[in-house]
Amino acid sequence: MANNRIFFADLTHTAQGISAPTFPLGVSYVASYVRQQLGKEFDFHLFKFPADLERALVEAPPLVLCLSNYSWNFELAYKLAALAKARYPDMTVVCGGPNFPTNEEEQHEHLRLHPVIDFYIQLEGEIGTVDLIRKLAGHGFDARKLKASGQPLLNTAYLTDGKMITGPLDRIKDINTIPSPYLSGLLDPFFEMKLIPMVETTRGCPFSCTFCADGLQTKNKVVRYHEDRTRDELEYIAARIKN
């Protein structure tokens, strides 16, 4: 059977307990939206623990490996991505998250210093990831060919021949079009783990705090999920949480 797997991982250190003991909420929203838009074509898998991801990479590697990038997990995620890329050089590695510079010179340097990353998704990951996967599919999931084309990709930065290509930056028009990763059952396996469920009720912030990843002009409009959806998510969690 042809490989149609896409992995989404929000990794945490586990050497001395679980460093970030939360559900992989951010990547689950991205996976949920990608599954809604492209679900019939691909097989989606979510990961929190490095050992689980490592095992899956050995047993059945994906076409695309998508990794969250926070200050507390980037080195861990990048190391696993590098090991996977060395074994499967045709696998596409995608990163996304707030731990990424906001000016182009520093973005270029970040990508230059981390060549394992094929593409970096900026801002909200849902629409950028869908656009990227569609463009990859159009190039036979050959990241080298897509990068060689030099075409701008929505919410995405990448290097080709030492030059950084960036696409237009945009936010999703209606966050309520993103299927709930709880209500769709996508996060059900994580109720069996010692993790804390989280709920996202809004996106954006009107303030411009310099120490915060949300203190950007591109994120200053606050948008909200419908109250009924949030209530349904809380009830769903309450019915399944074990402690």
Q: What is the pLDDT of residue 215?
A: 74
112 plus 50 within the same structural domain:
yes
Q: What is the pLDDT of residue 218?
A: 76
148 plus 69 within the same structural domain:
yes
Looking at 114, 133, 166, the residue that finishes a domain is 166
The three-state secondary structure class of 128 is helix
Please identify every stretch of the chain with a pLDDT value under 70, giving residue numbers as ranges: 1, 243
140 plus 20 within the same structural domain:
yes
List the structure tokens of 213: 């990843």
102 plus 199 within the same structural domain:
no
- Domain residue limits at 104: 5-166
How many CA atoms, within 13 angstroms, populate the side-chain half-sphere of residue 168?
5
Nearest to 18 by CA among 26, 10, 7: 10
130 in a structural domain: yes
Give residue 232's Cα distance to chain centre. 24
The three-state secondary structure class of 160 is strand
162 plus 186 within the same structural domain:
no
230 in a structural domain: yes
Measured at the CA of 61, the angle between CA 55 and CA 65, to 5 degrees, comes to 100
23 in a structural domain: yes
210 in a structural domain: yes
Nearest to 237 by CA among 188, 176, 164: 188
Sign of CA dihedral 225, 226, 227, 228: negative
Q: What is the pLDDT of residue 44?
A: 96
121 plus 26 within the same structural domain:
yes
159 plus 45 within the same structural domain:
yes
147 in a structural domain: yes
210 plus 155 within the same structural domain:
no
154 in a structural domain: yes
The residues pairing with 93 across neighbouring beta strands, listed in sequence order, are 65
Q: What is the pTM of this model?
A: 0.95
91 plus 201 within the same structural domain:
no
138 in a structural domain: yes
105 plus 153 within the same structural domain:
yes
| Amino acid occupying residue 23 | F
Q: What is the DSSP letter of 88?
A: -
Nearest to 121 by CA among 184, 66, 187, 178: 66
Summarised one tens digit per residue, pLDDT across range 6-25 is: 999 999 999 999 999 999 99
Counted domains in the chain:
2
187 plus 160 within the same structural domain:
no
What CATH number did the domain enclosing 64 receive? 3.40.50.280
Nearest to 148 by CA among 160, 131, 132, 159: 160
Average pLDDT, whole number, for the chain?
95
Determine the Cα–Cα distance for residues 147 and 159; give it in Å rounded to an integer: 7
The set of residues, in sequence order, having a beta carbon less than 8 Å from that of 200 and lying 6+ positions away, is: 25, 29, 225
84 in a structural domain: yes
